[in-house]
């Protein structure tokens, strides 16, 4: 399964073209990149990789604003509440398509609030098991799990694609 990363519409504004001579040059102050996941997650890692080149290209510092928690809803709400002035970017994964189903009282419709403008990364999810688990295929693993309730553990971030796949 592929996961797609998006930066909110501010990036489109930043790269859209040359402003008129009357307009203030964008950007004239640092830009915040809200990332709603914990350090070390793939999305945060990609965010850290792109901030330096983006800072260089835009001539302003792009700062990661990590807002983990709440199954990514804390960062999502912070980004949605930000002024639509191009100084807050939002980096999110594929869970933007289902977060509202997990949290029906979210108060934000992410598919209407944000516009994807850049695909920064694609990656596949891989299921791995310890060598002590006697399964070599997914079919064998499912059969083992059904035959041994309570013997296996699974870990994933709340509201993340690995949790949904799991």
- For the stretch 27-58, pLDDT in tens is 999 999 999 988 888 888 899 999 999 999 99
User: Residue 17: pLDDT above 50?
Assistant: no
Percent pLDDT > 70 in the chain is 86
Query: For the residues 112-141, what does the mean pLDDT come to?
Result: 88
Dist. CA 70–CA 113, nearest whole Å: 19
147 sits in which H/E element: helix 138-147
Query: For the residues 109-122, what does the mean pLDDT come to?
Result: 87
Query: Which pLDDT value is given to residue 124?
Result: 79
Q: Give, in order, the Cα–Cα distances in Å from 34 to each of 65, 107, 132, 162.
A: 5, 18, 40, 21
> What is the residue-averaged pLDDT of the chain?
84
CB atoms within 10 A of CB 35: 28
pTM of structure: 0.71
Dist. CA 67–CA 38, nearest whole Å: 8
Domains of the chain: 6-113 (3.40.190.150), 126-166 (no CATH)
């Amino acid at each position: 399964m592929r996961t797609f990363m998006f930066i909110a519409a501010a990036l489109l504004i930043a790269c859209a073209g040359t402003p008129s001579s009357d307009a203030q040059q964008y950007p004239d102050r640092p830009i915040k990149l809200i990332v709603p996941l914990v350090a070390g997650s793939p999305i945060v890692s990609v965010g850290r990789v792109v901030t330096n080149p983006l800072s260089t290209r835009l001539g302003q510092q792009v700062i990661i604003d990590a807002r983990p928690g709440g199954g990514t809803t804390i960062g999502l709400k912070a980004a949605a509440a930000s002024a639509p002035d191009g100084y807050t970017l939002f980096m999110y994964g594929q869970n933007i398509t289902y977060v509202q189903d997990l949290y029906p009282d979210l108060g934000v419709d992410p598919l209407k609030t944000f516009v994807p403008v850049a695909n920064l990364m694609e990656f596949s999810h891989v299921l791995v098991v310890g060598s002590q688990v006697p399964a070599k295929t997914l079919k064998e693993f499912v059969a083992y799990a059904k035959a041994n309730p309570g013997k296996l553990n699974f870990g994933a971030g709340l509201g993340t694609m690995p949790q949904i796949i799991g």
